[in-house]
Amino acid sequence: MSLEPFANEPVLELRRAAARAKLTTAMEKLELPLRVPVWIGDERREGEELVSTDPSAPERIVALAASATAEEAGAAVAAARAAFGGWAATPAADRAAALLRAAAWMRERRAALAALAVRECAKPWPEADADVCEAIDFLEFYARGAIELAAGAPLLQVPGERNELHYAPRGVCAVIAPWNFPLAIPMGMTAAALATGNTVVLKPAEQAPGCGLRVVEALRAGGVPAGAIALLPGGGDAGAALASHPDVATIAFTGSGAVGLELLRTAADVAPGARQLTRVVAEMGGKNCVIVDSDADLDEAIPAIIESAFAYAGQKCSAASRVLVHEAIHDAFAERLAGAVAGLQVGPADDFATDVPPVVEREAQERVRRYAQLAAEEGAVVTGTPADAGAGWYCTPVVATGLPADSAVLRDEIFGPLLAIETVRSVDEACDRIDALPVALTGGLFSRNPRTVQRVVARSPVGNLYVNRATTGAMVGRQPFGGNRLSGTGTKAGGHDYLLHFVEPRVVTENTVRHGLVV
């Protein structure tokens, strides 16, 4: 199969009225609530144990989902195990073709898929559109990568010996996904596992079962056999039951650090009779810092930092949550940032004018408000403009200053529209503070001095460092994404090495001296 080189799916130009009209028409046609089954092979069990609602208008039910029991988790793994041999033996090019057809299925429905992400997770339109594009990108990128990987890797050959290395799929992969990229992240992990010949049980986040259903529909419509991809909606208990099943060979997880660490412990506990070590691919949270040096161009830095901290209400794992500003420009920076925050429009996700949508659920709203309160007690806060009275899970954007070094606001991942500003005497002091953190996901630097840039690049522990731009918006193939330290297992989604985590290398060495080669 010869394919065009990979290119990112272009996002919509939402400044064009026609593009916006396509999306609003799709929204009008969206029939809710969706019914999301436990879907194992051709068996569907519908239920209403899980209710997913619209964070912008919580009385609107987006999806009614069954919640998988431990028995269903077991049945899903058993079905995936039974289908493994057939899917693993399917040529890589055929598996890739199924993924490419799934990408085409999503492309045809991209406005409707974006509308669903707006409703279910309060992604504003540009973010929702980018989420669909990223899901398509993962399918296209991993399809190509799996074909390349199927060729194996070259080895040193010497006379009288033939050496071959090929990559075999590992078995059943449990994919456990978060809600904040409700299409892209579950699709990315699932597509990587399937492309390399594994079978998958997908447990979408409890806040986004409707999007999880669309992921599985796309793959099955593309021709992935029913046995090779199961849908297991449910909460953390369903995820735990799935991950602890002894026949799960790989756990691909994206979510919070606490759950990721629990899954690493689960995997390390080898069940009696287990025939394989469970591998964990874990992408977790961070505490992302941006350094602003005294020579930074504030016309560039302020909008980029606003985008990094407040787009999607700060609910991206890559979102900026601390800015470390050189003391020489601190006051000017803080004043301009406060002005920019005051101009942010807080509102429903389906309003094209919205900058900051509501957070995903009531608990998230309470958590963000708790940290905002703490910031006000320990330091000083400047707040943006609150949302017009509405029932959604809105949080007013907050900028905090003057916090003590041991403040929880500077340590914890808050995952909301709250940004802390700190003063530093030098870029090196900023680097020291960043180096003291146990997490290392993304980071940013604004500086006009190439030597400063080099120094920070050399010292920065983060998985993705962004220089003179926003810290969010990693693109498949361009910015392979993932954290270091306690932020993740060091895998890079959307990068060339990612597929290696879903395979095991096998080497065959044949002595050809005595017999020669019979061809």
Binding site for ligand NAD (CB under 6 A): 176-181, 185, 203, 205-206, 235-236, 239-240, 243, 254-256, 259, 262-263, 283-285, 317, 413, 415, 441, 481-483, 488
Closest approach of ligand NAD to the CB of residue 239, in Å: 2
Return the number of the residue (29 or 265) whose C-beta is nearest ligand NAD: 265
Catalytic-residue membership of 422: no
Return the number of the residue (23 or 219) whose C-beta is nearest ligand NAD: 219
Q: How far apart are CA 167 and CA 447, in angstroms?
A: 43
Catalytic residue among 72, 127, 283, 422: 283
In terms of DSSP H, where are the helices of 196-286? 209-222, 236-243, 257-268
Q: How far apart are CA 8 and CA 106, in angstroms?
A: 14
Return the number of the residue (145 or 488) whose C-beta is nearest ligand NAD: 488
Pull the structure tokens for residue 170: 């590992």
Residue type, 29: K
Return the number of the residue (136 or 147) whose C-beta is nearest ligand NAD: 136
Tokens 């493994």 identify what position?
Answer: 84
Closest approach of ligand NAD to the CB of residue 263, in Å: 6
Catalytic residue among 211, 289, 317, 395: 317
Closest approach of ligand NAD to the CB of residue 3, in Å: 26
* Listed residue (233, 243, 133) closest to 188, CA to CA: 133
Closest approach of ligand NAD to the CB of residue 314, in Å: 10
The CA–CA distances, whole Å, from 70 to 73, 228, 246 equal: 5, 19, 13
Return the number of the residue (203 or 326) whose C-beta is nearest ligand NAD: 203
Residue type, 393: W
Residue number of the CB closest to ligand NAD reads 239
* Listed residue (121, 14, 55, 17) closest to 387, CA to CA: 55
The distance between the two most distant Cα atoms of the chain, rounded to a whole number of Å, is: 84
What does residue 210 show for φ and ψ, rounded to 5 degrees?
Answer: -65, -45
CA 423 to centroid of chain Cα atoms: 31
Closest approach of ligand NAD to the CB of residue 384, in Å: 22
Return the number of the residue (330 or 492) whose C-beta is nearest ligand NAD: 492
Gyration radius (Cα) of the chain, Å: 24
Closest approach of ligand NAD to the CB of residue 168, in Å: 26
Torsion of CA 36, 41, 43, 47, to 10 degrees: -20
The residue ranges of DSSP E strands in 177-296, in sequence order, are: 199-203, 229-231, 248-254, 279-283, 288-292
* Neighbour order of strands in the sheet with 172-176: 43-45, 38-40, 229-231, 199-203, 172-176, 248-254, 279-283
Return the number of the residue (174 or 456) whose C-beta is nearest ligand NAD: 174
Catalytic-residue membership of 217: no
Q: How far apart are CA 279 and CA 248, in angstroms?
A: 9
Closest approach of ligand NAD to the CB of residue 318, in Å: 8
Looking at the annotation, which residues are catalytic? 283, 317
